[in-house]
Amino acid sequence: MDEIEFHFDVGSPNAYLAHRVIPEIQQRTAARFRYVPILLGGVFKATGNRSPAEAFANVPSKRAFMDLETRRFLARHGITDFRRNPHFPVNTLTVMRGAVAARHEGCFEHYVEVVFRNMWSEPKKMDEPEVIRAVLAGNGLDAGRLLARAQSPEVKQELLRNTEASVARGTFGAPTFFVGNEMFFGKDQLRDVEDAFARRQA
């Protein structure tokens, strides 16, 4: 069975919205998404890119359209609990290392769901150590074990390798998807991702 790669950082609101829609695609198709944690700050540094909020800060019409496009996306998919994080941008280094650690600890899916939700549905300042620890512990995760493993050299190197390998394949932001070697960027291209997967299965 082919997998669709989902290269993500929980600090991206569009990655969160893609995450919310992925189950719909999996229900319609035989597709399975493989989540690949990357560090968006590292991607931006390597590619010279910037977040849309920064890049278009002085282009009011562009910002207004991005807000409109998000509202359309939310309405299309019936998402009613999305909230802008008042602390944005949040430094996601610790929580993305935590995602890598969670995969090794066997709690990756639960970890990603918890952290995404506390970034964009019940938004918190998820770069404060005390906040991270409280969120993880409050959702049944072993915060001490995960955060300790997140600081291990192996986990740090794995996140770095993921990020560098993603950039080498063309990634310049998140969310980025790969269907085979074909790259797609942005939540608005999920329909194209689904079409590309269907072509590969035909």
Mean pLDDT of 167-175: 98
Q: C-alpha distances in angstroms, 132 versus 17, 26, 98, 144, 169?
A: 21, 30, 10, 10, 31
Domain ranges of the chain: 3-201
Mean pLDDT of 145-174: 98
Q: In the structure encoding, which two tokens stand for residue 41, read together?
A: 């700050």
Mean pLDDT of 16-39: 95
Q: Residue 32 forms beta bridges with which residues?
A: 3
pLDDT of residue 12: 97
pLDDT of residue 51: 79
**Residue 82: how many CB atoms within 10 A of its CB?**
17
Residue 78 predicted with pLDDT over 70: yes
Which CATH class name applies to 3-201? alpha beta
| Gap between the Cα atoms of 98 and 195, Å rounded | 32
Average pLDDT, the chain: 95
Span 92-125, pLDDT tens digits: 999 999 999 999 999 999 999 999 999 999 999 9
Span 123-136, pLDDT tens digits: 999 999 999 999 99
Q: C-alpha distances in angstroms, 127 versus 10, 11, 131, 175?
A: 11, 10, 7, 20
Mean pLDDT of 136-156: 98
Residue 1 predicted with pLDDT over 70: no
pLDDT grade for 49, boundaries at 50, 70 and 90? confident
| Gap between the Cα atoms of 13 and 136, Å rounded | 20
**Residue 185: how many CB atoms within 10 A of its CB?**
16
